Structure 1
Amino acid sequence: MEVLIVEPLEQRALDWLGKRRAVHLDPSLASDPRRFEALLARARAVVVPPTMAMDARLLLSAPGLRAVGRLEGGPGTIDLITCESAGIAVVQPAGAGSVAEAEFATAAMLQLLRRVPVHEGHGVFVGRELSSSTVGIVGMSPTARLLSQLAGNFGARVVGYDPALHASDLAWRQAGIRPVPLVELLETCDVVVVLLAYYSRYHGLLGERLLESCKRDQVMVCLSPAALFDEAALAAALKSGRIAAAWFDRLEPGWLDPGRPLSEVDTLHVTPRLAPSTREARARGAWALVRRLDSLLGVADPQAAFSETVPDVLVGLAGGPAPA
């Protein structure tokens, strides 16, 4: 067995990989850790769902392992330090869900602006239009570039911030985003969309000092892990009305439990990681994933017949043309 797959993938991508490699598919392994570990010990590559942790003990129990793949959810539960020291590649499709996420974020912005009215005086509460708003994007990702285009098409002004990207970088201009300091972004934007990749050094980045400076009646959409926020500071900003409403597409376990700061905040809307979960995004991601795994594993059986290719609709979206 070369490739152990626990997370279901697009069938045509699996068929293509199965013609090149010895593939074992078994989603039930996600709830059977003993059997999973026994099979992992014989695998050269594995694809696991975001619910499965790949810690040092597990990774080192598979001496032949060369790659860990994940379709979505980020590498948060994969021990990256152990992977690096053991020469194990961590593979995730880059940008496969960008279109889906940009569409989702746009829909969330429109809903929050229209359905969370602001007080205009004399007892009048009204919704707002995206076309007259300033949108701040935190995190320059492939999704950010697409979102900038969509927001710009509505007539919105778009600014952005990324701690890892200098303000002089050409990427900002190419994306149509004006780079600004994070404090300025929070102070001036009507809408903030958080797309920043999570690393431990960013834990609690959006804390009390920054959230207290948010523009009044701001709405916020977050597709990143909620750990980027300080839990208590976010709750305080929502309860005070400084942030009129927030939409998180994932939330840390327990953050809504009774007694926690966010437990009874009715202006917080939470969805279970819906942004990238489209048929098209999963297909693009599956093709990108299997092609990269195949490449990492080296030369396949030269006698194998490879007739399956990436469907035309996915060429260019799954990382380029299909392999022969």
Structure 2
Amino acid sequence: MHIVISEFMDAPAVDALKRDFDVRYEPDLVDRRDDLLRALANADALIVRNRTRVDAAVLAAATKLRAVGRLGVGLDNIDVPACEQRGIAVLPATGANARSVAEYVMATVLLLLRGAYGATGQVAAGAWPRTALSNGREANQRVLGIVGYGGIGRLVARLARGLDMRVIATDPVLAADDPVWREGLADRAELADLLRQADAVTLHIPLTEQTRGLLDAGRLATMKDGAILINTARGGIIDEAALADALRSGKLGGAAIDVFDKEPMPAGGPLTDVPNLILTPHIAGLTEEANTRVSDMTAQRVAQVLRGR
């Protein structure tokens, strides 16, 4: 049986698959669309990250496909209904990178609240901006709002509670009487109330027709003055131009954005030269440990499908 891997995967997991399967591993195959389509002619399984589009053309080329392994959790690059119609198993690495994302969120919340870590050049040059940097904020007793209270959101809540933050959360999928709200990590809130109360807001929801543009200029304007906004979920959930305006005006105190409407983010876009903004290239879920967990889980799940287990 033949497996095609079109994006980066941890080497030991690739080697484990090679012991039992014929594996074509080319991390740059995602950027060679025609080669990818040809490679899928005899593929029983395809393993991707978030850049490979598993769309009609891919599925038409992969006539023998039985499984799509996703090195991560988001499925917006995969036509899941079409896979279901074909009986193709879609296998995300659910939970494997949760710790990595949660630590990214808390690190950026702390960094942006304190606001003291951008002065290295000034201090090294002999300046002493002590007064300007003496009004940072502590996380203690601040309100963290979590939009999307799944596995990652709950882990963020646990870490935040360890810093003595108050946590509120919203999730339209979870009913008011869902047992998760009785765990005591977060108080349930509606989105409007969460945005109004939170000192920091972090997003952990998929990109859907309902969530695209969820945080537009109108909703950003309802946020608490000086609030922090973190997006490690999916680009397109936040209106990037509106976010830039909110940061430039001082309405928001800072933001950390790991995901973008277009990736890579085009040069000269709305988030260029914006104050109090951290931009990272979709790496919140990528650490040495998370890469190993995600790759191992994906390899195991794909192998199980191909072996008929």
Q: What TM-score do you get using the length of structure 2 for normalisation?
A: 0.87
Q: CA deviation at 1:233?
A: 2.9
Report the counterpart of residue 149 of structure 1 in structure 2: 158
Distance in 1 (alpha carbons) for counterparts of 2:29 and 2:235: 28
Deviates more, 1:262-271 or 1:143-152: 262-271
Distance 1:283 1:292, change over 3 A: same
Report the counterpart of residue 24 of structure 2 in structure 1: 24
Distance 1:290 1:248, change over 3 A: same
Q: CA deviation at 1:132?
A: 2.3
Distance in 1 (alpha carbons) for counterparts of 2:261 and 2:112: 22
Equivalent AA in structure 2 for residue 65 of structure 1: L
Q: Does the alignment pair 1:292 with 2:301?
A: yes
Distance in 1 (alpha carbons) for counterparts of 2:18 and 2:44: 14
Report the counterpart of residue 201 of structure 1 in structure 2: 210
Q: Does the alignment pair 1:4 with 2:4?
A: yes
Q: Is the 8 A contact 1:255 1:263 kept in 2?
A: no
4+ aligned runs moved over 4 Å, structure 1: 254-257
Distance 1:89 1:265, change over 3 A: same
Q: Is the 8 A contact 2:3 2:44 kept in 1?
A: yes
Q: Is the 8 A contact 2:258 2:284 kept in 1?
A: yes
Report the counterpart of residue 120 of structure 2 in structure 1: none
Distance in 2 (alpha carbons) for counterparts of 1:274 and 1:7: 14
Q: CA deviation at 1:129?
A: 0.4
Q: CA deviation at 1:73?
A: 6.8
Q: CA deviation at 1:236?
A: 3.0
Q: Is the 8 A contact 1:97 1:285 kept in 2?
A: yes
Distance 1:36 1:181, change over 3 A: same
Q: CA deviation at 1:13?
A: 2.4
Q: How big is each residue's C-alpha offset from its partner over 1:100-158, in whole Å with a ceiling of 9 and x where there is no partner?
A: 111111110100000179xxxxx996111001201111111212111111111111100
Distance in 2 (alpha carbons) for counterparts of 1:9 and 1:64: 22
Equivalent AA in structure 1 for residue 240 of structure 2: E
Gaps of 5+ in 2: 118-131
Q: CA deviation at 1:255?
A: 6.2
Equivalent AA in structure 2 for residue 61 of structure 1: A
Residues 26-45 of structure 1: pairs in structure 2 closer than 5 A = 26-45=26-45
Distance in 1 (alpha carbons) for counterparts of 2:39 and 2:218: 49
Distance in 2 (alpha carbons) for counterparts of 1:67 and 1:238: 43
Report the counterpart of residue 246 of structure 1 in structure 2: 255
Q: What TM-score do you get using the length of structure 1 for normalisation?
A: 0.83
Alignment partner of 1:250: what SS?
coil
Distance in 2 (alpha carbons) for counterparts of 1:21 and 1:191: 47
Q: CA deviation at 1:29?
A: 2.6
Q: CA deviation at 1:74?
A: 2.3
Report the counterpart of residue 137 of structure 2 in structure 1: 128
Q: CA deviation at 1:261?
A: 4.1
Alignment partner of 1:200: what SS?
coil
Distance 1:275 1:95, change over 3 A: same
Distance 1:9 1:232, change over 3 A: closer
Deviates more, 1:74-83 or 1:173-182: 74-83
Q: CA deviation at 1:270?
A: 0.7
Alignment partner of 1:228: what SS?
coil
Q: How big is each residue's C-alpha offset from its partner over 1:66-122, in whole Å with a ceiling of 9 and x where there is no partner?
A: 1112213722222223222222222210011111111111110100000179xxxxx
Q: Is the 8 A contact 1:116 1:245 kept in 2?
A: no
Q: How big is each residue's C-alpha offset from its partner over 1:21-53, in whole Å with a ceiling of 9 and x where there is no partner?
A: 332323343333333222201011011232222
Distance in 2 (alpha carbons) for counterparts of 1:231 and 1:45: 36
Residues 62-101 of structure 1: pairs in structure 2 closer than 5 A = 62-72=62-72, 74-101=74-101
Distance in 1 (alpha carbons) for counterparts of 2:158 and 2:50: 30
Distance in 1 (alpha carbons) for counterparts of 2:26 and 2:271: 38
Distance 1:163 1:25, change over 3 A: same
Distance in 2 (alpha carbons) for counterparts of 1:104 and 1:138: 16
Distance in 1 (alpha carbons) for counterparts of 2:246 and 2:55: 36
Deviates more, 1:19-28 or 1:267-276: 19-28
Report the counterpart of residue 49 of structure 1 in structure 2: 49
Residues 293-308 of structure 1: pairs in structure 2 closer than 5 A = 293-299=302-308
Percent identity among equivalent residues?
33
Q: Is the 8 A contact 1:256 1:263 kept in 2?
A: no
Distance in 1 (alpha carbons) for counterparts of 2:244 and 2:38: 44
Distance in 2 (alpha carbons) for counterparts of 1:164 and 1:195: 12
Report the counterpart of residue 108 of structure 1 in structure 2: 108
Q: CA deviation at 1:238?
A: 2.0
Aligned length: 295
